[in-house]
Homo-oligomer: A and B are copies of this chain.
Amino acid sequence: MIKEIRQYSRQMVRELDLLKGVFRDSGCSYSQCHALFEIEQKGILNLMELSKLLLLDKSTTSRTVKGLVEQGYVKMEKIAQDQRQKLYSLTEEGQQIVKMNNESANAQVTQAIELLDEQERLRVEEGLKFYARALERSRLQSAYLIRPICQEDNQRVGRVIREVMTEYGAVGEGYSIEDPEVDQMYETYNNSRAAFFVICKDEEILGCGGIGPLAGGEATTCELKKMYFLPELRGIGFGKRLVFLCLEEARRIGYQECYLETVERMWQANLLYKKMGFQLLPEPKGCTGHSGCDSWYVKKL
């Protein structure tokens, strides 16, 4: 399947590349047209932001915009707060060009899309969306690594747990932030019925989570425990990966169901658990001593 996807994506990129010819009429290079488009989208932006959007080196971007300013399509202004930045926005004429270019590009795409039926169009939209998103997540994730916890991580893991729980106001009695294990995660989970992972960038630890036996529960039930991500790590798909990894490990150990408890205000986490097939429970299981929690989930393994 990878082979097919690569093949189709090569074909698609090739065709899209040919479409770029449309912009020749406007008297600007393709990169200049792209720059005009992105400036129009954002309204106003500086060189670095534009450079990232265009996927061009800042030096190229600088020269590209220089041409546009000379042609009178883009105007530059400075702000008092930061004399380093140059902020670019479109002139009247620039807006005209963007509008024209957009119309011809839309016409081209429309012409192609009209060859498909309604069902196929939806497939195209969804397919492109999923693939773009997957590639982005994969790129963002590639800077980080998931690995089992080791003893040297204890201190930094403790810090992550405290920071995230504090962020969500899960502090004080009835919350796991008070558990003595917080500073000794390695020792606590280093046994045949448990597993604990950390997510790090270089030496820095940014997230963690693991499984262990559910205190006061059946022997076949495990608990998904201490899953906390610093903000930097959120929204790039690591939650799904870590939960998946934990559930796999739980199955390997021999557990038959996985329980977890959390607070409703950690909405990203709650959404993730539901997506991963966890069922909301009306009341807690076992006796974890975490009376501050207000949401309980379980999933068969």
Q: Are B126 and A123 in contact (CB under 8 A)?
A: yes
Q: Mark A1-41, 1 if CB is under 8 A from B, else 0.
A: 11111101101111111110000000000000000000000
Q: Report the Cα distance A5→B105, complex, angstroms.
A: 12
Contact of A116 with B130 at beta-carbon distance under 8 Å, contacts A2-B106, A123-B123 already known: yes
Q: Are B115 and A124 in contact (CB under 8 A)?
A: no
Q: Report the Cα distance A46→B6, complex, angstroms.
A: 24
Q: Are A137 and B112 in contact (CB under 8 A)?
A: yes
Any B CB within 8 A of the CB of A55: yes
Any B CB within 8 A of the CB of A245: no
Size class of the A contact interface (CB-based, 8 Å): 35 or more
Most chain B beta-carbon neighbours within 10 Å: one of A115, A124, A136: A124
Q: Report the Cα distance A5→B121, complex, angstroms.
A: 9
- Minimum CB–CB distance from A91 to chain B (whole Å) comes to 24
Q: Report the Cα distance A130→B4, complex, angstroms.
A: 13
Q: Are B127 and A6 in contact (CB under 8 A)?
A: no
Any B CB within 8 A of the CB of A286: no
Any B CB within 8 A of the CB of A125: yes
Contacts of A113 in B (CB 8 A): 1-2, 5, 134
Q: Are A126 and B128 in contact (CB under 8 A)?
A: no
Number of chain copies forming the complex: 2
Contacts of A109 in B (CB 8 A): 2, 5-6
Q: Are A127 and B116 in contact (CB under 8 A)?
A: no
Nearest CB in chain B to that of A116: its residue: B134
Q: Are B120 and A130 in contact (CB under 8 A)?
A: yes
Contacts of A139 in B (CB 8 A): 15, 18
Any B CB within 8 A of the CB of A268: no
- Minimum CB–CB distance from A111 to chain B (whole Å) comes to 5
Among B12, B125, B132, B137, point to the contact of A135 (Cβ < 8 A).
B12
- Minimum CB–CB distance from A18 to chain B (whole Å) comes to 6
Q: Report the Cα distance A136→B125, complex, angstroms.
A: 17
Within 8 A of B (CB), among A67-81: none
Among B14, B55, B134, point to the contact of A55 (Cβ < 8 A).
B14
Q: Report the Cα distance A131→B139, complex, angstroms.
A: 24
Among B19, B127, B141, B240, point to the contact of A127 (Cβ < 8 A).
B127
Q: Are A138 and B115 in contact (CB under 8 A)?
A: yes
Q: Report the Cα distance A81→B183, complex, angstroms.
A: 79
Nearest CB in chain B to that of A134: its residue: B112
Any B CB within 8 A of the CB of A237: yes
Q: Report the Cα distance A279→B9, complex, angstroms.
A: 36
Any B CB within 8 A of the CB of A192: no
A–B pairs, 21, beta carbons within 8 Å: A1-B113, A1-B125, A2-B106, A9-B16, A9-B128, A12-B132, A14-B55, A15-B132, A15-B136, A15-B139, A112-B138, A115-B134, A115-B137, A115-B237, A116-B130, A116-B134, A120-B130, A123-B126, A123-B127, A126-B127, A128-B131
